[in-house]
Amino acid sequence: MFDWRQRISAELKRDKKKTVILAALLFVAAVVLGRTLLSGVTPQQAKADGVESVSRISEPAEEFVESERQAQAAVREYINQLDHDLKRDMFAMDRDFYPPEVPTERPELQGQAEPDPNQQRRAQQQLMQAQARALLLQSTMISNRPTAIINGRVLRVGEWINGFEVVEITPRSCVVAKNDVRIILNMKN
């Protein structure tokens, strides 16, 4: 028993802030307890003055209920007058937010002799593939007008992005073309 008293005493000496708060709470508890024990006043039951007071209160309540009914009827009438046909497609894309990108011109080779056409074709294909790696197919939507989301832009067949034309859209891929080089973009899992 002596051990817990020493621990409490040591804790109170160590943290002065806790000691002050504890003393204040004990003082408030003592005051409240003393007032309730010494006052001797018992709570009394509430009594109604009479029927008149109840009827005076109920009259405004009835007026309020009637005004609420009228307001609800007015709201119902307003809703019934509204045109309920939706003329807007919530999924239609606003073309003003996604203007078509102007295709860039291809760079011209300067100061070099005419290379071999096959070599030029292979170099062009490698260049197009390197540029196509920057394109990320994020999503496709197949409907009467297939749509693809590439690099955050919504595109349809015939539209351009970074110099590539969207040629074909399938459920999991998209074919883009640039300078007669066709590249298939696949969706990542």
What's the pLDDT tens digit per position in 20-36?
A: 999 999 999 999 988 88
pLDDT at 108 over 70: no
Indicate the pTM of the whole model: 0.37
In whole angstroms, give the CA distance from residue 29 to residue 8: 20
What CATH number is given for 95-102+118-186 in this structure?
A: 2.30.30.830
Question: Nearest Cα to 179, choosing from 111, 101, 126?
Answer: 126
**8-17, 64-73, 97-106, 127-136: the lowest-pLDDT one:** 97-106
Burial classification of residue 70, based on how many CB atoms lie within 10 Å of its CB (0-12 exposed, 13-18 middle, 19 or more buried): exposed
Residue ranges of domains in the chain: 95-102+118-186
Distant-in-sequence, close-in-space partners of 176: CB < 8 Å, separation ≥ 6: 132, 135, 150, 161, 164, 165, 166, 167, 182, 183, 185
The owner of tokens 């009594």 is 47
